Amino acid sequence: LRTAAVIPAAGRGVRLGPGAPKALRALGGIPMLVHAVRAMAASRAVSLVVVVAPPDGATEVRHLLDEHPLSDRTDLLVVPGGETRQDSVRRGLAALPDGIDAVLVHDAARPLVPVDTVDAVIAAVRAGAPAVVPALPLADTVKQVEPQPQGTPEPVVGTPERALLRAVQTPQGFDRETLLKAHDTVVEGEGATDDAGLVERLGQPVVVVPGHEEAFKVTRPLDLVLAEAVLARRRA
């Protein structure tokens, strides 16, 4: 099976504060996106990485990635993204050449995922699972609420049993046909916040493998502090 990784990196990252698109912010002096591309290319199973750039930034991203070349083993494509994450992933999938059987979808915002986690996801897909997600148990208890206008306290309507919940990370891994069908079938705006969610809507099985705490998503300013610390520890 030949495996490609699609990296949606077209988000603006408003929750991180003002500045460049999130994927282009520096981490240890190197753009977050370069870390994410390297994390995928670190797996010997990944022969192609498709980066989905901001719609008006594909040329800039291509130049940036050319400054940080990968080994000869891994090919790289850059395509322009879309309005939503789902749209961006769809554009990345459309760029896949024939001969790719398995696809990883990995957020540029998870730059530090270890290669062992990537390999575990790929192994589960190659063992026959149509969709695989890395995930971790939750530290926090989670409440479901009835949303209210801002300033009004929200009534709690339920507390799902924490031991049954998992916080899902990326890369998520898929049989190529399954993921294409999911993206072709599920319409935008139906509320799936990840790719496996689209596969679930098809009624196809999705399985969980252990995630890793270093695969956390860089979303808010505090996450950048943590990411810098993880990187410093690795380099020490």
Selected binder of ligand C5P within 40, 45, 74, 81 (CB under 6 A): 81
Residue 8 interacts with ligand C5P (CB under 6 A): yes or no = yes
Q: Is 83 in the site for ligand C5P (CB under 6 A)?
A: yes
* DSSP-assigned beta bridge partners for residue 145: 156
Residues numbered 120 to 149 that lie near ligand C5P (CB under 6 A) are none
Q: How far apart are CA 23 and CA 32, in angstroms?
A: 5
Q: Closest distance between ligand C5P and the C-beta of residue 169, in Å?
A: 11
Q: Out of 167, 219, 223, 230, point to the residue binding ligand C5P (CB under 6 A).
A: 219
- The whole-angstrom separation of Cα 141 and Cα 214 is 21
- Of the candidate residues 4, 48, 64, 108, the single one contacting ligand C5P (CB under 6 A): 108
For the beta carbon of residue 67, count every other beta carbon within 10 angstroms.
9
Give the span between the Cα atoms of 213 and 106, in whole angstroms.
15
- Can you tell me the distance from the alpha carbon of 57 to that of 73, in angstroms, rounded to the nearest whole number? 26
Question: What's the CA gap between 190 and 86, in Å, rounded?
Answer: 11
Find the binder of ligand C5P among 3, 4, 5, 11 (CB under 6 A). Answer: 11
Strands 156-158 and 26-27: unpaired
Helix residue ranges, H only, the chain: 32-41, 58-66, 85-94, 115-126, 176-185, 195-201, 221-235
Which string of x and - marks every residue 172-211 that binds ligand C5P (by CB under 6 A)? ----------------------------------------
Residue among 109 and 206 whose Cβ is closer to ligand C5P: 109
> Which of 6, 10, 112, 129 is in the footprint of ligand C5P by CB under 6 A?
10
Assess 84 for contact with ligand C5P (CB under 6 A): yes
- Interface with ligand C5P (CB under 6 A): 8-11, 22-23, 52, 81-85, 88, 107-109, 217, 219
